[in-house]
Chain A
Amino acid sequence: MIMLVTSLIIAGVVSAVLIQAWGGVSSALDDSTNQIEANSKTEATLISDPMNIDWNPTTNQTMITVQNTGETTLNITGTTVRLNGSFMNVTQRGVIPSVWIPGSVVNFTLQGNILLPTNEEVFLNVIVQSDRYIPARGVNSFTEVVRIV
């Protein structure tokens, strides 16, 4: 009887450890698949003419337009932009649209204390993220060479 009870306890502990370990592996697999799936639905591209990015040296500002070319709604305030390697302050120009649905565009004003001479060709790097896409938030970035005018 004692042997049987001992055996059951050991079997129970071993089973619990195995189930817990598998639960961790399974959850990690699920998380990574969810993230890949969310990233694959998140995409944006530049609409502005890359040959004509008008930089205002007085206000240190320029404006760009970005289109949501993915399959999920993007978070407008979650957009990050680097111009010539510098992070810019990104604000939406205007209030429309308030929701960045697939196919629509958003105008952004970029401001940063950087010096950009006319005719300089620099890299513009834009990072967008999806609105909460349960259970993961998708991220996408693109880089384009633009000419400052």
Chain B
Amino acid sequence: MGGSASVGALIVGTVLLSIFANAMVITLENRQRFEEIDNNDSKDVEVRIVNATLTSTTLFVNITNDGSEPVLLSEVWIILDGGDPQPFTDYFSSFDYLFPGEIIMGSDTVTGTPNRAFISSYGHGSGATIA
């Protein structure tokens, strides 16, 4: 009788031990995954228009990056008077990236006389009246 109960208890005990070990493994795995999620911040890119000037039919736009990470100029978009966004590479093609603190001047031919320029990238936008 006593021996039978012991064998049964041994089996249940072993299963409980396995479950506990499995729980530990899952907890550690989840902790690692949550740490990775926590480190998964959005890009720190803050593009800003320094100024925009229209000379005849050419629009000159100075932009900078107030963030801490470089951004591809093909991922920076410029919008004139709420129109269709154009990649900033249409205005500036000498380099691929806009680095933190860097100021670049882009230019492109425009039709009409737009009043407002707006640039946007990775959730940060900046607008300016065209002088």
Number of interface residues of A (CB under 8 A): 42
Mark A64-98 against chain B: 1 for CB-CB distance below 8 A, else 0: 01010101000000000000000000000000000
Most buried by B among A10, A37, A69: A69
Instruction: Tell me whether A67 and B7 are in contact (CB under 8 A).
Output: no
Are B120 and A26 in contact, with the CB atoms below 8 A? no
Provide the bound-state CA to CA distance between A26 and B30, in Å.
11
Residue of A nearest to B122 (CB): A69
In contact, A51 and B22 (Cβ under 8 angstroms): no
**With A40-B37, A48-B79, A52-B118 in contact, do A105 and B85 touch (Cβ < 8 Å)?**
yes
Binds A, one of B12-20, B59-67, B91-99: B12-20
Residues of B within 8 A of A36 (CB): 34, 37
Contact of B79 with A14 in the complex, beta carbons under 8 Å: no
Q: A interface vs B, CB < 8 Å?
A: 3-4, 6-8, 10-12, 14-15, 18-19, 22, 26, 29-30, 33, 36-37, 40-41, 43, 45-54, 63, 65, 67, 69, 71, 103, 105, 107, 142, 149
